[in-house]
C-alpha cells in the first residue's frame, strides 16, 4: 500500500502548478475567431490643403481663395469614394474660400463704383480746395511783407513754403502746381507771369486728374479768384 503523498510531486516542481488559463487572441471571445485588423482611416491631404488655404487667404487673397475652393471640392469627392477623414476640414476650407471670393468681388465692385462714380468729383473738389488755400497763403504773405501779390519772388517763396517744402505741412504738398502754360515756378520770370495773366494751375489726381485755375490778385485786399478746370489760353 502506497503511503499518502508518495505520488505527490516534490515542492517547486512545475508539474505541481495549476494549468494556465487558455489564451485567446486580442478581442476574441472563447470559441470566436479574432476580428480582422482594420487600419484607421487616414485624413485626406487635400482637405488639409483646403483648410490651410482658406485660413491663409487674408495674406494671399484671391490665390488662396481659389486654392481653398478647388481643393475643397476635390477632397470632398475623394473622401466620399475612399472613406478618408477630413470631410469637416474640406467643408471649412470651402466656406472660407467662398467667403474670401465674395469679399473680393464686393471690394472690387465698391472700388469700381468709387472710381467711376466719385473719384472725379473728389479730385475736382481737392484741386479747388488746394487752389483756394494757395490763394490765401499768397494773401497772408503779402500782408507780412507789405508788397504786391504780383511779385515773382514773393510767389516763388509761397510756392516753396506751401508746395515744394520737403518738411511738408503746406496746403498743397501733394498737388501739381504750375503756371497756366506749364512753366515751373522755379523757372518763371516776370515776362512768363505776364504772358499767362498771373494765373496758376493746380492739379490733383485721384484716379482721374482734375484742375483748378487760380488768378493772383492785383492787391492784398482782393481775394484770389479760383475757377474749376484748367486755365484756358
Instruction: Give the closest residue to 177 by CA, choosing from 146, 212, 222, 153.
Output: 212
At residue 86 the predicted structure's pLDDT band, cuts being 50, 70 and 90, is: confident
**Contact, 223 vs 139, CB < 8 A?**
yes
pLDDT digit string, tens, across residues 113-140: 887 888 899 999 999 999 999 999 999 9
| pLDDT of residue 183 exceeding 90 | yes
d(CA 12, CA 122): 105
Q: Say what the pLDDT of residue 229 is.
A: 94
Of 36-40, 44-48, 56-60, 201-205, where does mean pLDDT reach its minimum?
A: 36-40
| pLDDT of residue 187 exceeding 80 | yes
Handedness of CA 68, 71, 77, 83 (dihedral sign): negative
pLDDT digit string, tens, across residues 50-77: 777 777 666 666 788 888 888 888 988 8
Q: Angle 6-12-14 (CA atoms, 0-180°, nearest 5)?
A: 95
pLDDT digit string, tens, across residues 4-33: 555 555 555 555 556 665 554 544 455 556
> Rounded to an integer, what is the distance from CA 143 to the centroid of its chain?
47
d(CA 194, CA 226): 18
Of 29-43, 98-112, 212-226, where does mean pLDDT reach its minimum?
A: 29-43
Handedness of CA 128, 130, 131, 135 (dihedral sign): positive
pTM exceeds 0.85, yes or no:
no
Amino acid at each position: 500500500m502506497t503511503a499518502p503523498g508518495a505520488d505527490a510531486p516534490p515542492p517547486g516542481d512545475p508539474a505541481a502548478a495549476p494549468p494556465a488559463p487558455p489564451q485567446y487572441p486580442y478581442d476574441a471571445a472563447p470559441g470566436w475567431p479574432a476580428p480582422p485588423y482594420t487600419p484607421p482611416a487616414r485624413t485626406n491631404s487635400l482637405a488639409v490643403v483646403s483648410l490651410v488655404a482658406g485660413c491663409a487667404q487674408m495674406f494671399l487673397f484671391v490665390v488662396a481663395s481659389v486654392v481653398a475652393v478647388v481643393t475643397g471640392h476635390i477632397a470632398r469627392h475623394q473622401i466620399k469614394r475612399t472613406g478618408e477623414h477630413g470631410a469637416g476640414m474640406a467643408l471649412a476650407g470651402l466656406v472660407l474660400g467662398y467667403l474670401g471670393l465674395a469679399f473680393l468681388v464686393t471690394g472690387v465692385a465698391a472700388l469700381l463704383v468709387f472710381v467711376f462714380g466719385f473719384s472725379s468729383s473728389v479730385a475736382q473738389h481737392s484741386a479747388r480746395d488746394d487752389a483756394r488755400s494757395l490763394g490765401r497763403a499768397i494773401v497772408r504773405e503779402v500782408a507780412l511783407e507789405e508788397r504786391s501779390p504780383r511779385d515773382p519772388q514773393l510767389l516763388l517763396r509761397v510756392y516753396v513754403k506751401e508746395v515744394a517744402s520737403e518738411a511738408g505741412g503746406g496746403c498743397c504738398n501733394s498737388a501739381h502746381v504750375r503756371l497756366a502754360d506749364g512753366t515751373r515756378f522755379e523757372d518763371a520770370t516776370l515776362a512768363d507771369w505776364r504772358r499767362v495773366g498771373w494765373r496758376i494751375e493746380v492739379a490733383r489726381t485721384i484716379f482721374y486728374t482734375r484742375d483748378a485755375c487760380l488768378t493772383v490778385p492785383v492787391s492784398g485786399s482782393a481775394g484770389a479768384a479760383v475757377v474749376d478746370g484748367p486755365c484756358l489760353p
